[in-house]
Chain A
């Protein structure tokens, strides 16, 4: 699971008002290099929750991402590389995602988050 996906997931448990961002428990993580596409990054910037990305990357052991960023800073190649790395190259293989309101664990196994709800959570 990439942090891009983490940034797009929220807890949809019945009664939860704000299920984003999910907490992260890391049992195993990896890094996989992938080719950068700056157009994609520039488009994604406005859709990403930057703080959630910074916090998640830090948990995954990558703290090079600046806390405060505005659009003008996206012309910097260095920043784009860091954004790319955090968003797409860090993978959570084993662990869990945690609903911020209920504490409910959504297991992550082999890089696949299991977001399926139980009968009483729908």
Chain B
């Protein structure tokens, strides 16, 4: 856990002598009570011992660019799924793979089930827009979600084409083999079958038997839409039997790798990346442990909810 003593900096463990520290600056927009404070963080990590890091903070005036969507700018509606641990895990996975994604030069990126728009907005922020030749599509079966996603995109100054649709039914024919990056945080919660696909917010999580009903519909569509170099990032729960999903995908010619694994009190989430094995891609360069820790830290700092309570911990 992160500790923030009164002086605003924290050290967790003793650093080892070998290895030079890695310094990264980030910016966090914090609400302390009613006041918004822009803070500059530098994180020093000892690359020989990546679990040891010190965080220095200082208050600055102008905001610096963020690399993912900001919670305070995400729009909402009572029927639309608010960003939660699974949304953050997916964005963390994309952030961790950002260098690979940029090198990949995707043309079309798509999110199936965009909800609040948090993920597609983050993806657009971290990869770039029309000037970089990247175009985004987002679909959702909930028309409220489609509108909320547009609001979230607009609040961040980024654009995606949003369509109310079932998975990507209206684009399957024309976009076949053209999607280079697909991201999905599906309804994965095991529920009775009759709760799947109902109107309203329950459609955001109701996944039927083993939470697999909607996932098993999405995967063949992904296979159809993904280009030869296409990558799919999908959030799964342990209950979905992710190893069986990977085996089944392997039979269809996909390799896979778990990019982010996160256990909370309730759930054990895996964010899995799939790519066509014939591509020769190795799932991305193995990022060093320290980079993964930093990337993960960075997005967690954005979500420190205890700041909202005005606590000085």
Partners in one complex: yes
A: number of interface residues (CB 8 Å) = 31
Return the CB mask of A49-69 against B: 1 if under 8 Å, else 0.
Answer: 000000000000000000000
- The 8 Å CB contact of B107, one of A2, A36, A43, A111, is A43
Contact B150 A9 (CB under 8 A): no
Q: How large is the interface on B (under 10, 10 to 19, 20 to 34, 35 or more residues)?
A: 20 to 34
**Could you say which residues of chain B place their CB within 8 Å of the CB of A117?**
166, 169
- Cβ contact within 8 Å between B170 and A112: no
Q: Is B91 an interface residue (CB 8 A)?
A: no
Question: Is A112 a contact of B130 with CB atoms below 8 Å?
Answer: no
Interface residues of A in 5-40 (CB under 8 A from B): 5, 7-12, 19-20, 34-37, 39-40
Interface string of B102-125 (1 = CB under 8 A from A): 000001000000000000000000
Whose C-beta in chain A lies nearest to the C-beta of B169? A12
Chain B residues 159-183 with CB under 8 Å of chain A are 159, 161-166, 169-175, 178
For B143, what are the chain A residues with a Cβ–Cβ distance below 8 Å?
112, 114, 116
| Cβ contacts A to B, 15 pairs, < 8 Å | A8-B171, A11-B170, A12-B169, A12-B172, A36-B130, A37-B133, A40-B135, A111-B150, A112-B150, A113-B163, A114-B143, A115-B164, A115-B165, A115-B170, A116-B141
What 4 pairs across the A-B complex have the smallest Cβ distances?
A115-B170, A40-B133, A35-B131, A37-B133
What 18 additional pairs, Cβ within 8 angstroms, besides A36-B130, A43-B107? A1-B161, A8-B137, A10-B173, A12-B170, A20-B173, A20-B174, A34-B129, A34-B159, A35-B129, A35-B131, A37-B130, A43-B133, A111-B150, A112-B147, A112-B163, A113-B163, A116-B164, A116-B165
